[in-house]
Copies of this chain bind each other. A is one copy, B any other.
Amino acid sequence: MSTPTEEPAWKQRAVERSTQAAKRRAEQRVERFLDAAQAIMAEKGTTDFTVQEVVDRSKQSLRSFYQHFDGKHELLLALFEDAMSKSAEQLRVLATEQSDPLDRLRVVVQELFESSRPDPATQQQPLFTDFALRLLMSHPAEMRVANAPLLALFTQLIQDLEDANLLRPGFKAKRVAALTMQTVMFNAQSSGQDAAHPLTAEEIWDYCAHGITGND
Residues of B within 8 Å of A136, CB to CB, are 133, 189-190, 193
Q: For chain A, which range describes its interface: under 10, 10 to 19, 20 to 34, or 35 or more residues?
A: 35 or more
Interfacial chain B residues near A150, Cβ < 8 Å: none
Chain A 178-196 against B: per-residue CB contact (8 Å), 1 yes, 0 no? 1110110011011101101
Indicate if the CB atoms of B178 and A213 lie closer than 8 Å. no
User: With A and B bound together, what is the CA distance between A182 and B184 in angstroms?
Assistant: 10
How far in angstroms is the closest Cβ of chain B from A120?
15
A10 to B189, CA, bound (A): 56
Which residues of the other chain, B, contact A159 by a CB distance below 8 angstroms?
A: none
B213 adjacent to A216 (CB under 8 Å):
no
Nearest to A109 among chain B residues (CB) is: B212
- Known contacts A129-B137, A199-B175: A212-B208 contact under CB 8 Å: yes
Question: What does DSSP make chain A's interface, helix, strand, loop or mixed?
Answer: helix
- Whether the Cβ atoms of A210 and B207 lie closer than 8 Å is no
Q: How far is the CB of A212 from chain B (nearest CB, A)?
A: 5
Partner of A212, one of B161, B197, B203, B212: B161
User: Whole-angstrom distance between the alpha carbons of A206 and B207 in the complex?
Assistant: 12
Tell me which of B133, B168, B191 contacts A133 (CB under 8 A).
Answer: B133
What per-residue 1/0 map shows which CB atoms of A139-155 lie under 8 Å from chain B? 01001100000000000
Nearest Cβ in chain B — how far from A119, in angstroms? 15
A166 on the interface (CB 8 Å rule)?
yes
A176 touches B207 (CB 8 A): yes
Smallest CB–CB gap between A46 and chain B, Å? 9
